[in-house]
Chains A and B, each alone.
Chain A
Amino acid sequence: MRRIMFTTLAVLLAVVAVAVAKDKTYGKGVSEGEFTKVSAILGSPDDFVGETVRVEGTAVGVCSHRGCWLELSSDVEGESIRIKVEDGVIVFPKEIIGETVRVEGVFKANSPEVAEKKCDRTKPGDEPVACTTTYEVTGVGAVVVGK
């Protein structure tokens, strides 16, 4: 009986060790294919809405508490693109900031109507928020390059 218990415990611990091992591929990963420059997408966003895109850049920001989005730098200085992922399905850790990341997802436009709802939530006295279309990639997979 004791031998069975120890064997079970050893197997469980081995499984746990594998589970905790860091995986540098998130979600479905990134499929083979050409990468689009972030600057090209942001330069003419309407051409890419609804398209599946693969982009690469440095992770310069991350949703600090939930890991549900990532800010990816563009090839043009000062530009970046938001990668939004489904809560809990992909969780970007804080440690990813500064790493080169490849992402695959669908480029999406958030319509002004949605933005207007955001504006409606500003408190009296707050600076008015410009209601413009915002763009993001709904990420389905990501890979940290060189990891």
Chain B
Amino acid sequence: MSTFRKVCRWLHRELGFLAVGLTLVYAISGIAVNHVHHWDPNHSAEVETWSIEAPGPGPTADVEPLVLERLALGEPVKSTWRDTPTVLQVFTEDGTVEVELTTGAVTRTRNHRRPLLYDMNFMHLNTGKAPWTGIADAYAAVLIILAVSGVFLVKGRRGLAGRGGVLMALGVLLPVVYGVLARG
């Protein structure tokens, strides 16, 4: 085995192990955020409804204390917002309580972070910016080395000169053809 191929194998093996964690993070989050139009990949919502004695659509200064008293949430309230003349929204740490002032109907929506997925998406979308930008760049460099070194792992019929080459060509053609067609 040539020295070049030995180096490729060493690089591919060592970096391959190193990249497992981040590859799973980016792949799983990739599927999740690909379908952002269909679902919220970061939060799940829990909706609860009940009713209180209707405070009526009076001035907010009068209505707000009544609503808070009748809701008896027993937890800190961040702020309130008179969304419409007949709706008062109460913002809590985990979501929103919406009160219909004329009927007393209450709809509480609690948002829960999806375990693991929230953090994976945070990393994938680089929401935190630096220093994750550096880590993500380094990971991208590792992927490039993995891809290039992988090409030279095997020689012969199963390598670049044979089946491996055909598969590689397919993998390269797919994004190229899509790119040309999608661009119109």
Contact = CB atoms under 8 A, between A and B. Distances in A.
Interface of A: 12, 15-16, 18-21, 23, 58, 60, 64-66, 73, 77-78, 88, 91, 93-95, 97-100
B103 interface: no
Contacts of A15: 131, 134-135
A-B complex: 8 closest residue pairs judged by Cβ atoms: A98-B91, A98-B78, A19-B132, A60-B81, A19-B128, A98-B79, A65-B36, A91-B127
A77 to B, nearest CB: 5
A20 B135 CA distance: 12
Given A16-B132, A58-B79, 15 more contacts: A16-B135, A19-B123, A19-B135, A23-B129, A58-B91, A60-B81, A64-B40, A65-B39, A65-B40, A78-B85, A94-B43, A95-B111, A97-B91, A97-B95, A98-B92
A95 B111 CA distance: 9
Given A20-B119, A73-B81, A97 B40 contact: no
Contacts of A66: 36
B89 interface: yes
A100 B125 contact: no
A60 B79 CA distance: 9
B9 interface: no
B111 A94 contact: yes
Given A58-B79, A94-B42, A23 B84 contact: no
Contacts of B60: 77
Contacts of B134: 15
Given A15-B135, A60-B89, A97-B96, A78 B84 contact: yes
Given A60-B83, A77-B82, A94-B111, A19 B43 contact: no
B157 interface: no
B122 interface: yes
B131 A91 contact: no
Interface in B55-112: 60, 78-79, 81-85, 89, 91-93, 95-96, 111
A91 to B, nearest CB: 5
Contact of A99 (B78, B84, B85, B119): B78
Nearest to A64: B40
